[in-house]
Amino acid sequence: MSQHYLDLGPYQSARGTIALPGSKSISNRVLLLAALAQGSTRLKGLLDADDTRVMRTALKTLGIQIDEADGDCTVEGGAGRFPQSQADLFMGNAGTAIRPLTAALAILGGDYYLHGVSRMHERPIGDLVDGLRSVGAHLDYQAKEGYPPLRIGMGQIRTNQVIPVRGDVSSQFLTALLMALPLVAREELCIEVVGELISKPYIEITLKLMARFGVEVRHDQWQRFYIPANQGAPYQSPGTLWVEGDASSASYFLALGAIGAGPVRVTGVGRQSIQGDVAFADALNQMGANVMAGDDWIEVRGVDTTSGKLQGIELNCLAIPDAAMTLAVAALFAEGKTKLTGIASWRVKETDRIAAMAKELAKLGARVTAGDDFIEVQAPTTWQTPKEGIDTYDDHRMAMCFSLASLGPLSVRINEPECVAKTFPDYFAQFQAVVKPAV
């Protein structure tokens, strides 16, 4: 039965340790790489949530054998191809699934139909399609130009030219091409980024994971990427691969440790992480939080400022767009203004996150200014409790971010809390296990 709302707080403190679920970004990348590799790959710590279920289901539909037991996932690779050359694939609202899978299917060719929920059909994919068409792939839009659903056919792949892709809309377009093109790299291939590349840390994740599967890609100042020539199946199974905890999900609990005095520790990510969103801890530190870290853990113990409060900052968040949302809500508890820039990509995520964040923060009494590429937040002078609750727009990160507002002086109602199933199904149970009620 669907839960239409959840009332939280008010809470006065937070203390505890959270074992993070696996990273969504890593999980969906390694599922696809394992499916394309030669050999069997055992994935440990894989995220089990809506977005990764979408990818697993799609791969099974394509004929890839996936066995799940005792929390592990074993993928029998297709050695550079998919057994099924025809399929109808429902991709939900999983951008990390539809984009790289579109590229792989288009490069290999076949008869495929990819579609998703209505919001997925509003999320742009045109720049990826343009890049694929430039090498001879055959893709047709089935509704609105530039957006899913898509029909993929048999193309005539050409690899003797530089392949352009825009970098300023979503890094997932470049990730998709990087992962797919080794399948046809009979000679060295070059991808050129047009415009500024956003979210570079996510591209770094892609390159490091491809290397684990035997494909080393070099780059020139993040503008040109060179895929090595290979013969036959380019990807080779690494045997067993551990998936890190999700650094974006860590941000909510680290902020909780700052706002609620802590200590709150997350395990599964730390100084050795390959995820860019661990830089969220540095941003919290700039705001005055007491942050400590080890190789696979990060802990926050309240705030180290004279006033005992977080301090507003101005920060370019181009490298940490998902975790930046948590900073916007943490600004409810900060002295002075917090201005986050470099967030234009928020507009093409699960919802228009700039508009949604501005509206919901204002409901709590915050003073908010927003534009195409920034949001500026000042803490409420007087906190408010909106009777209609905080709307989440079927966006998991909106729900998780605004749970932090329950550390304020008033309770907070989160509407449609089950949307967190996209990446963190038991988020609210974990959250409530570490917060302490106000007395």
Catalytic residues: 322
Instruction: Give how far Cα 360 sits from Cα of 11, 220, 368, 389, 401, Å.
Output: 20, 41, 10, 9, 11
On the question of a cis peptide bond just before residue 83, with omega within 30 degrees of 0, the verdict is: no
Closest CA to 353 of 384, 380, 334, 326: 326
Beta strands (DSSP E) in 189-268 are: 189-194, 218-220, 224-227, 240-242, 261-267
Tokens 């400022």, located at residue: 305
Closest CA to 341 of 314, 305, 361: 314
Instruction: Give how far Cα 178 sits from Cα of 148, 204, 346, Å.
Output: 21, 11, 23
> What is the C-alpha to C-alpha distance for residues 424 and 213, in angstroms, rounded to an integer?
27
What end-to-end distance do the CA atoms of the chain give, in Å? 32
Q: Helices 50-61 and 95-108, interaxial angle, to 10°?
A: 20
* 320 within 8 A of 201, measured Cβ to Cβ: yes
Query: Exposure pattern of 161-180 as b/e (b: 16+ CB <10 Å)?
Result: eebbbbbbbbbbbbbbbbbb
Phi, psi angle pair for 368, to nearest 5° = -125, 135
Residue 220 CB partners (closer than 8 Å, separation 6+):
226
Beta strands (DSSP E) in 143-260 are: 150-152, 163-166, 189-194, 218-220, 224-227, 240-242
